[in-house]
Structures are given as structure tokens and as C-alpha cells.
Amino acid sequence: MTTTHGFELVRDEQIDELKTRARLYRHMKTAPNCCRLRMTTKISASG
């Protein structure tokens, strides 16, 4: 598992329907979870 700034990566998934990557981290000392969502494509505005 990957550790960054005291957080351990628990789960890493691509959500194709949302074009988003989801990562679940757990703080190693105090154990709360943190979820990060990131768009994997750019959205362009037409207008």
C-alpha cells in the first residue's frame, strides 16, 4: 500500500460512468478515512 503524509491508500478505482478516479485513504495514526475524487477528462464548454 502507498503512504503519503501519514495517509495509507486503501482503495483506488476508476469510475468510468463519471470519468472520475476515486481513492480512499486512511490516516495511519488516528484511523479516519478520507476520500478523493478526481475528474480524469477535461470538460469543455460550448457556447
Residue 47 has pLDDT above 90, yes or no: no
- Contacts (Cβ under 8 Å, ≥6 apart) of 19: 39, 40, 41
Write out the three cell numbers for 26: 486512511
Please write the tens of the pLDDT for every residue from 4-29. 788 999 999 999 999 999 999 999 99
In this prediction, residue 3 carries a pLDDT of 78
Q: Which of 44, 5, 42 is nearest to 20 (CA)?
A: 42
The count of residues in the chain is 47
Report the greatest alpha carbon distance in the chain: 49
Write out the three cell numbers for 22: 476515486
**Contact yes or no for 34/7 (Cβ under 8 A):** yes
